[in-house]
Amino acid sequence: MKYLRLKKSGDFSKLFNKGNRVYSPYLTVIYMPSKNTVMGVAISKKHGKAVKRNRIKRLVRAAFIASLPNLNGTYSMVILPKVCPEYSFKEFEKCLNSCYKRMGK
C-alpha cells in the first residue's frame, strides 16, 4: 500500500485543530478519515539538533511504511515523536501498530 506525504502547512494545521489523537509511550498520532492515506511527521527542536531530528524522522517514516499493512482504512495523519533518551525502529513500529488498533474503534 502506498501513501502520500503531508506537505502543506494548511494541511498540518487542519489536522492539529480538528483531528483525533491517539497516544502511545513513544508517539502521538493525530488523525482524520480521508480518501487517501496521507502521513506527515512533525518534530520540535526539543529533540536535538538537525541531524538527530532528521534521523528520528527517517525512523518514523520507515516504521510507518513497515506497519502500513496493519492500518484499517485510509487516514490523514501527523505523527509526533515524544522526547526520550533513545529512539528505535522497533519501538516506533510497535507503537504505531497499537495506535492503529485504537484508531479503528
- Coil/strand/helix, residue 96: helix
Where exactly are the structural domains of the chain?
A: 4-103
pTM confidence score? 0.91
In this prediction, residues 50-79 reach a mean pLDDT of 94
Q: Residue 19 is placed in which grid cell?
A: 483531528
- d(Cα 21, Cα 61) in Å, to the nearest integer? 19
- d(Cα 86, Cα 61) in Å, to the nearest integer? 17
Q: Across the strands, what pairs with 54?
A: none
Provide the greatest CA pair distance for the chain: 37
Q: Is it true that domain 4-103 has CATH number 3.30.470.20?
A: no
pLDDT at 1: 60
pLDDT at 31 over 80: yes
